[in-house]
Amino acid sequence: MSQKKIKITDVAEYAGVSVSTVSLVLGNKGRISEATIAKVNEAIKTLGYVRNEAAANLRSHQSNLIGLVLKDITDPFYTEITAGFSRVLEKHGYMLFLAQCGDSPERLEHCVQSMIQQGVAGVAFSPLRGASQGVLKMLADAAIPVVCVARASVNDDVDFVVPDNTQAAKQATLHLVEQGHRHIAYVGGLGDSLTRAERIGGYCTALIQYGLPFKNEWVIECQGTQKAAAEAVQSLLVQHPKITAILCHRSAVALGAVYGVERANRSVGCDNYIGQQVALLGFDDVPEAELTHPPLTFMSSTATSIGEQAGQRLLNRMKHPIQGTEKVVLPSELIIRGSA
């Protein structure tokens, strides 16, 4: 026989209080004595009562769900953003509704539409070219607060929290130049990537500052896998052996580049004079960076901070919907190891 489902009336009867009192305790509302709260919580624990959040949300016209749509939740950068974002929201009683959209504008729109249908209280998402304006209109029409996160915003009328990709790439390039490199390439990312465009902008700025050449054939697109990066770097170095340093668009590209350098019969390291080693410098630091030989130099991603600040900004937007928009740009830190 199936076990009887415990109802709020059962809790009230067991605790010797009214149903409305139990409801106030569950909602953390009203002036209820500590003794009564303790009695109700003891009854909930003893009976095994589980609150129906969906029904509670309908009754209160409020939701405890927050939507987060990212490009790729398996990427360490986005994983850290999710962790930071979720940590902030859970402290305030919200639950995360997580989805990924890849590079598909249609998928992004579908994910956000589904979240709206589920009655989320707010949404954070990573912008994509060709979809962001439509997504923002959907959310505005539904009167749902929104924050753009992790990638460049395409609308000044929306809050966003992003890393300073231009600053990070400029600082990374200047570091390589100061180490004596004059032939610096950029590998990774695809042409429609907003993040890549910003980083290449910083890379170009640093080259121009020192009067160094920018060559289109040294800026290589590739998928964000170690295999694709290894193949791209090997081909690049074989065709252009003068290159002594490579900026790697993401962590997987940097890890794959190690193999590409070796396949081109070169080695990874700082000696670009006698040994003709190739320096590697990546973006969005990961623990695996310390496991290669030599360990990989990275620009830190500040991904956890991005998630935390995005979560806090969304909470503020939900409380103060007519407050002015805010742009939060977080700087990166250079973590020097043996590869550059």
Report pLDDT digits (tens) over 177-235.
999 999 999 999 998 888 899 999 999 999 999 999 889 999 999 998 999 999 999 99
Rg value, the chain, Cα: 25
Kindly report, as residue ranges, where domains of CATH 3.40.50.2300 are found in the chain: 63-163+304-330, 165-299
Calpha distance 159→56 (Å, rounded): 29
Query: How high is the pLDDT of residue 62?
Result: 59
Work out the pLDDT band at 1, boundaries 50, 70, 90.
very low
pLDDT above 60: residue 28: yes
Token reading at 317: 């937007």
Query: How high is the pLDDT of residue 53?
Result: 55
Q: For 269-286, what is the mean pLDDT? A: 87
Cβ(161)–Cβ(330) below 8 Å: yes
Work out the pLDDT band at 275, boundaries 50, 70, 90.
low
Task: Name the CATH superfamily housing domain 165-299.
Answer: Response regulator (3.40.50.2300)
Query: How high is the pLDDT of residue 175?
Result: 97
Token reading at 287: 């623990």
Work out the pLDDT band at 127, boundaries 50, 70, 90.
confident
Name the least confident of 9-18, 217-226, 288-297: 9-18
Cβ(306)–Cβ(162) below 8 Å: yes
Query: How high is the pLDDT of residue 255?
Result: 97
Query: Nearest 5°: CA angle at 321, between 320 and 322?
Result: 95
Query: How high is the pLDDT of residue 125?
Result: 94
3-state secondary structure of 121: coil
Cβ(310)–Cβ(149) below 8 Å: yes
Whole-number Cα distances in Å, 37 to 9, 24, 50, 164: 16, 9, 16, 47
Predicted TM-score (pTM) of this structure: 0.75
pLDDT above 50: residue 60: no
Query: How high is the pLDDT of residue 193?
Result: 84
- Residue 182: HSE in the Cβ half-sphere, 13 Å Cα cutoff: 5
pLDDT above 70: residue 262: yes
Calpha distance 236→245 (Å, rounded): 11
Q: Backbone dihedral region of 65: left (phi > 0), alpha (psi from -120 to 50 degrees) or beta?
A: beta
DSSP type of residue 273: S
Token reading at 123: 């949404």
Calpha distance 40→113 (Å, rounded): 38
Whole-number Cα distances in Å, 232 to 237, 249, 257, 258: 9, 12, 8, 11
pLDDT above 70: residue 150: yes
Just give the CATH number of 63-163+304-330. Answer: 3.40.50.2300
Q: 95-100 and 65-70: which strand pairing?
A: parallel
Q: For 63-74, what is the mean pLDDT? A: 90
Query: How high is the pLDDT of residue 265?
Result: 94
